[in-house]
Amino acid sequence: ALADPADAALDPDKDGLTNAEEFKKGGDPNFSEPDPTLRMSGLLAEYWRTPSNLQTLPGYESLMPSHVSVSPVVDHPTVPWIAEGNMPGDGFAARYTGYIRIPRDGDYVFYLTSDDGSALFIDGVAVVSDPEPHSVRNSSGTATLCAGWHSVEIRYYENTVSESLKLEWSSADIQRAIVPTEALCHLKSDETPRGFVSGITASFYTLPSSLASLPDFSALAPVDTRIVPSVDEPETSDPWRYAPVD
């Protein structure tokens, strides 16, 4: 019981949250899961513009995404690639990351249909790999997984003509079907693109109070540099909200 200090400090599902922490957050102490208070529905989807002659999956870690969105399921083009825009076409790559909920221990078959190359990783292990360029086709792989949330990553690229990407699963209890939204999540903190932080860099300088025009900032050294959430300072004689105190 959680009233027992020894039990409250345990982490039987080994997800980094003690029984007491999971109880407070509304989670299940016996089910491995990301922090319930940070969990968001769907997978984080990142997109890049790439050459239209790729022969294998690109090195995503060296690229900055052109667009970041959230995909409720991976079923394209049935579901629009990007809800907020129309970037996909020829010459782009995508990566979907987050977690997949496995309802019970067992063997699961994952099916990845794509045009062109794609790969599926669960807990960092390649389950499906079909990286070379090709027209639409299906590849599959089997993973033995315990009940709980597992990290998932899908890598994909499209060269020319049509584009398609679909993630399905099956098991002893699940007929082959698209992995549903309720089995996919990501963390809110992951929505800031990799390599970026939220906000804008602001540099502050000490200057004379008699300036008649903008100074040459390239010749000045800032007294303070920080990340501020927005550029929204009202007219006031008081210090700005995000400026240094002194």
Q: pLDDT tens across 43-58, in order?
A: 999 988 888 999 999 9
Closest CA to 231 of 203, 202, 205: 202
Partners of 165 in beta bridges:
76, 114
Question: What does the pLDDT read at residue 15?
Answer: 59
The pTM is what? 0.70
pLDDT surpassing 90 at residue 18 = no
Pairing of strands 92-102, 43-49: antiparallel
- The structure tokens 């045009």 sit at 115
Is 18 within 8 Å of 35 (Cβ atoms)? no
Q: How far, in Å, are 55, 72, 95, 213 from residue 82 at the CA level?
A: 24, 11, 12, 44
Partners of 41 in beta bridges:
185
Question: What does the pLDDT read at residue 36?
Answer: 78
